Each structure stands twice: as structure tokens, then as C-alpha cells.
Structure 1
Amino acid sequence: MFDQNAQIDSDLNAAVPPYSYNPSAWSQRVPICILAGIATVIASYMALYQWRLIDSVWDPVFGDGTAKVLDSKVAQTMDRWIGIPDAALGAFAYLGDAVLGMAGSTRRWQYRPWLVLLFGIDVIPLGVVSSVLVILQGTVVGYWCFLCLVTAVISLILAYWAYDEVYVSLSYLWRVWSKTHSWRELGYAFCGVPSEQALAAGREIVEEAR
């Protein structure tokens, strides 16, 4: 049983190895949220064109390339598969990045692993999918979309920036498992339910950086 007198570590900004900083710090997460917000606006703008709520779409590099990509058979096929334009799906995903990036404390890697992993699932696959779609633009569609390239670059940056926090949370969960070999304890740690073993694992990780 969890000792009710056990104290949760109050040092929310402690550095976490193998890094010399705290991956859950606001200084790490706010830039992700800002960039995700920019991508949300860009993707929403392209979705408005795909929904024909606006007549044209801006592209300063490839002329009508963006419009041709958004109107391509690939985009139309994806629309039929998922029920909404692919740009709209991207906008929802980027908005999710921003919302999940803002949620939780600066020690959520330990106290809310489920939130960090959900954040990672939203951010990292999105970067991979965006890269694949950009490759399809040139190889299958035959045109390039400037705004799509911008959001793809943003996606890769977001995935790179989010990786450290996801890695630390997974390392923490692995340590809990190594200490307990208990699915119950691991489940508690994943959900953020305090336990003596989970708190001890978190303290050990933080102390390694001191």
C-alpha cells in the first residue's frame, strides 16, 4: 500500500537525465505549442479552400501548385476515406498538439505519463505522415504545395522537440517496471496514481542528474 505520509517530490523543474534540463519545463513546451498553433492556422486555411469556403489559396513559390495538390485525386481519395479534407484532419492534429502541450505540470513526465505519451502519439506520427504526404506531392501528384511543405517542416520540428519528454516518460515507466515487475504498479505509474515504488523511481532518476 502507498504510504500516505510519503512526500511527492516538489522540485517540479528538476533536470532529468540523460538531459541537462527538464523536458517538461514550460521553456521546452511553449515553443512547441506556438509552432503547433501556427501550423493549425495554416492547415485550417488550406481546409477552407478544400471545403470551398474560399475561392483560392496562396502560394508564393509554386503558383497554383498548392491548389492542384489540394484538389488532387490523392487528396480527394483521403477525403472519401476519412470523411473530411486531409488539411482539416491536419488542423485538428496540430490543435491537439497545442492543447496537449499546454496540459499538465512541469513534472508531468512522472506525474502524468499517460498525457506525455498521448502527446507523443499525436506529435511524432504526424511528422512522419506529413513527410510521406510531401513525398507523394512530387512523385504521385506531380506538383508541389508551399504551405504543405511549411507544415511538414513544422511537423518534423515538433516531433524532434517532443521526443525528449516522451523518452524520459518511457524511461521512468521502465524503471518502475524494473523495480516492481508488477503490471499493477506500472498501471498506477502510467495513470499518475502515487505509490511508494513510483515515487522512489522518480526520485532516483532526478538524483542521477544532481
Structure 2
Amino acid sequence: MSNQANNTARASRIEVAPWAYNPSAWSQRIPICILAAVATLMATYMALYQWGLINAVWDPFFDEGSQNVLDSKVAQTMDRWIGIPDAALGAFAYLGDAVLGLAGSTRRWQYRPWLVILFGIDVIPLGIVSSVLVILQGAVVGSWCFLCLVTAVISLILAYWAYDEVYSSLKYLLLVWKKSHRISVVWNAFFGIPTTISRQAGDELMREVN
């Protein structure tokens, strides 16, 4: 029984081209979720200050720099534009990263491309926006915020870690299109409705680990 179980476990491990691993595996997604959860807590903490629920923000390096950034005209302008503090928006986005990272199976790159792409839309633009905001801190505000810098770095790491799974889903959908040249078939594949062509495309991208 044990040999049969080991053989089944080995057979269930897959690699998804062009990667030497499965980008939807839990080992790939759990670190993203943990890091996103950490960033959620940091962003929520800063949002509490911007909402006036706490009086100060901890900063081990820049003294009152964090407060200067969070109280800056840039932050106030964004608050007027989006209706909530920018840190709160970041907290919601990071929470979305964590939730979307946990959703779906280890074959979601094939079975739920819509979910993977939604995950990528939440993760990758967030990394870009965070980088822009960090640049604005130094160029416009003239102060630095330690927790803002940390969350910006986390955003870039998350974007880097999420890229492979998004790429695999897009490659899968492109292969479905090349095989069918029918929008309806691609649309079904996008929403996880199986067809003979989508199964063939998924099988072509996967290989079992020996």
C-alpha cells in the first residue's frame, strides 16, 4: 500500500511549461498569501493613523518621516480622489492578494484562468503603483516612510512571485485559441468550462515529474 501511495503522490506532481514546477502549487502560493497578509497588517496600521484613530506611526529610521508622508498633500489628494486613505486602499488590495491566492486548486492556471488573471490584476499593478508612490515620497514630499518602503518592496516581490502563474494561464488560453480559432472556445476555457480542445491544450503544457 505504501509503495502504491508513493507512486500516486509522485504521479500527481506536475510541471507546467515553461517552468520546472507547477506555478499553482500550494508551495508557490502560500508564501504569497503570508507576505500579503503581513502587508495587509502594515497598511491597515497606517490607515488607522490616516483615519485619526491612532496618534502616531512607528518609524525606526526616519523619525516623523512616516507621519509627514501620510499627512502629505499627495496622500490628501489621493484621499479626495478615491474616497479613502491610500493606506486603506493598499490594505484592501493586499487582503485581496491573500484571499485570491488561497482560492482555487493546484490546477487553477488551467481550470480557473479567470481567477488567476484577476489575481494578477490585483497583484501586479499594485507593485507598480507602490513603486510610484515611493518615488513621490522622495521627489515630492521630501520625506521617507519606513513602513511605506517595506510594503512597496513586498508589492514588488508579490508581483514577481505571481507572474509565473498568470503567464501560464495566458499561455494556456493562447494555446486554446491557436487550436480552435474560436472565441467561444477560449471564453469557455477562461471560465473553466471544459472542452476537448481545452483539455488537449492543458495536457500539452503539463508534464509529470519522474
TM-score with structure 2 length normalisation? 0.93
Please tell me whether the aligned partners of residues 13 and 208 of structure 2 are also in contact (alpha carbons under 8 angstroms).
Answer: no
* Map of 1:191 onto structure 2: 191
Are the counterparts in 2 of residues 12 and 107 from structure 1 also a CA contact under 8 Å? no
Checking the alignment, whether the CA contact within 8 Å between 1:172 and 1:205 is kept in structure 2 is yes
Aligned residue runs from structure 1 range 130-169, under 5 A: 130-169=130-169
Figure out how many residues of one structure are paired with residues of the other and give that number. 200
In the aligned structure 2, how far is the partner of 1:207 from the partner of 1:141?
51
CA contact (8 A) 1:43 1:88 kept: yes
> 1:49 touches 1:57 (CA, 8 Å); kept in 2?
yes
Q: Distance in 2 between matches of 1:122 and 1:92?
A: 10
Unaligned runs of 5+ in 2: 1-10
- 1:191-210, Cα deviation, whole Å (9 max, x unpaired): 00011100011011114987
Residues 48-197 of structure 1 mapped to structure 2, 5 A cutoff: 48-197=48-197
**Equivalent-residue separation in structure 2 for 1:14 and 1:192 (angstroms):** 19
Distance 1:119 1:178 in 2: 24
CA-based RMSD: 1.3
Equivalent residue letter for 1:126: L
CA deviation string 1:114-166 (max 9, x = no partner): 00000000000000000000000000000000000000000000000000000
**Cα distance in 2 for residues equivalent to 1:200 and 1:208:** 15
Moved more, 198-207 or 158-167: 198-207
Distance in 1 separating the partners of 2:139 and 2:188? 47
| Distance in 2, Cα, partners of 1:70 & 1:192 | 42
Give 2:25's aligned residue. 25
* 99-108 or 199-208, which deviates more: 199-208
Look up the equivalent residue of 1:136 and give its one-letter code: L
Partner AA of 1:119 in structure 2: F
Tell whether the 8 Å contact from 1:17 to 1:208 is kept in structure 2 after alignment.
no
The 3-state SS of whatever aligns with 2:16 is coil
Checking the alignment, whether the CA contact within 8 Å between 1:34 and 1:98 is kept in structure 2 is yes
| Unmatched tracts of structure 1, length 5 or more | 1-10
Paired AA for residue 187 in structure 2: G
Contact 2:72 2:141 in 1 (8 A): yes
